[in-house]
Amino acid sequence: MASKIKQYAFKPGLPLEIEIISIGDTFLKGLAETTKPHRTDFYQVFWFQKGNPIHIVDFRSVELKPNSLLFIKKQRVHQFDPAGGYEGLGLLFTDQFFNRTDLDTKFLTNTILFNDLLDIPVIDLNESSPELPRIFSQIDTELNLPADALHYDILQNFLHNFLLVAERERQKRDFTQIPKGADLDYTFQFTQLIEKHFITHLAVNEYATNLSISERRLHQATTRILGKSPKELIDERILLEAKRLLVHTHLSIKEIGCQLGFEEPTYFNRYFRKHTGKTPIEFKGSYIGR
């Protein structure tokens, strides 16, 4: 077990930061670390074409059917099924590739494919539009053509269309639609701020000030949208990172507490036990022992 969770950067040397890779037994043998918890600094769309793998995403098991798409946001901790026996393709791309305009940035920041507040997005292609496999193939074909002056524009356009169609299909199926409006906007902006600042342990009123709203208004928004208070959402994010580090690294409790902004190990121990009912050591032992 490493001292930190493995982090993959986008493959260097490619002319554009977009790539389609083959996944399956050969891939798993060559990149055995992917069957262990890891993060990436890029977005991933996996098209599992054959087999029934179980993909683990932040302690949640996602059971996949043949011919299904799985969307993984950058920096999420996940791992491939080490049992193998499945085949498919992975579409990988970065912010730098996709975000050509402010509208592109806004779309990628808000799309339910990578920012679903309630679930891990999966699309069953057997029940969806034939457009998705067709556009995926168009991206693959264009990637294999010699680059010219329009190569980037065409690829970015294909990818944008693919994500738009995928979002439509996701909304048609088992997606739980959250009513749009100020409450959703404030909640989403708040969760984005938590991601940036959870280690600094900002108070709820500091987040509210950052959003230019009152603490009461922020509480109203998050409870209406997610049924949780702002403090609960902050605690959830701290605890998720704590669990990641406890289970996936060999860092000591003291080192983990320090990484998460706790000045004393005893503070971290009390905090973790208060919210999980277990000490950090008990949680780590119960999970690894499964």
Least confident of 2-6, 169-173, 204-208: 2-6
pLDDT band at 120 (very low <50, low <70, confident <90, very high): confident
pLDDT band at 157 (very low <50, low <70, confident <90, very high): very high
Q: What's the sign of the alpha-carbon dihedral 213, 214, 215, 218?
A: negative
pLDDT at 109: 85
% of the chain beyond a pLDDT of 90: 70
Is 39 within 8 Å of 76 (Cβ atoms)?
Answer: yes
pLDDT at 175: 61
Confidence check: pLDDT of 290 > 90: no
The conformation of residue 33, written as its DSSP 8-state character, comes to G
> With 0-12 CB in 10 A as exposed, 13-18 as middle and 19+ as buried, what is 23?
buried
Q: Is 72 left (phi over 0), alpha (psi -120 to 50) or beta?
A: beta
Confidence check: pLDDT of 289 > 60: no
* Tokens linked to 91: 């579409």
> With 0-12 CB in 10 A as exposed, 13-18 as middle and 19+ as buried, what is 93?
buried
Q: Three-class SS of residue 60?
A: strand
pLDDT at 139: 98
pLDDT band at 180 (very low <50, low <70, confident <90, very high): confident
Average pLDDT over residues 47-54: 95
Is 88 within 8 Å of 48 (Cβ atoms)?
Answer: yes
pLDDT band at 284 (very low <50, low <70, confident <90, very high): confident
pLDDT digits 0-9 by tens, 220-276: 999 998 899 999 999 999 999 999 999 888 899 999 999 999 988 899 999 999 999
* Tokens linked to 76: 């999420």
- Enumerate the β-bridge partners of residue 60: 57
